[in-house]
Amino acid sequence: MHAPSRTSVLVCGLLAALTPFLAGAMAWSYLDEAQRGGPVFYALYWPVLALGALPARVGGPLLENALPMVLMYFGGYLLVDQLLRALRAALRRKP
């Protein structure tokens, strides 16, 4: 696996910093329990759901600060970027 480029790291960092703002802007639409779900909900709130699934002693302090969630978003975006790069490289190698 190749190292990520500087551009991809910057784009992933920008997306990771902006995603919590988008999630906060969309939080009003998810006040009703019946509306929660779907791909957009899980794409925006997967770090909160993952940290909330941890035991209270561990997950509680991590949910008080935004940094763990931003780092999880960054890691997720970087993982998706690397998977897309690997898929593109695999498709180029096929005869």
State residue 65's pLDDT score. Answer: 87
Q: Is residue 95 part of a domain?
A: no
The count of structural domains within the chain is 1
Q: Is residue 72 part of a domain?
A: yes
> What's the token pair of residue 50?
């993952």
Count CA within 13 A, CB hemisphere, residue 10.
3
Q: Is residue 20 part of a domain?
A: yes
Per-residue tens of pLDDT for the chain, all 95 residues: 678 899 999 999 999 999 989 888 887 777 777 777 788 888 888 898 898 899 989 888 888 888 998 999 999 999 999 999 999 999 998 76
What letter does residue 36 receive in the DSSP assignment?
Answer: -
Domain that includes residue 60, residue range: 7-90
State residue 35's pLDDT score. Answer: 74
Distance (Å, whole) CA 4 – CA 19: 20
State residue 73's pLDDT score. Answer: 93
Q: Is residue 2 part of a domain?
A: no
State residue 40's pLDDT score. Answer: 83
b/e code 58-93 from CB counts within 10 Å (16+ = b): ebeebbeeeebbbebbbebbbeebbeeeeeeeeeee
Q: Is residue 49 part of a domain?
A: yes
State residue 15's pLDDT score. Answer: 92
Distance (Å, whole) CA 47 – CA 68: 8
Q: Is residue 78 part of a domain?
A: yes
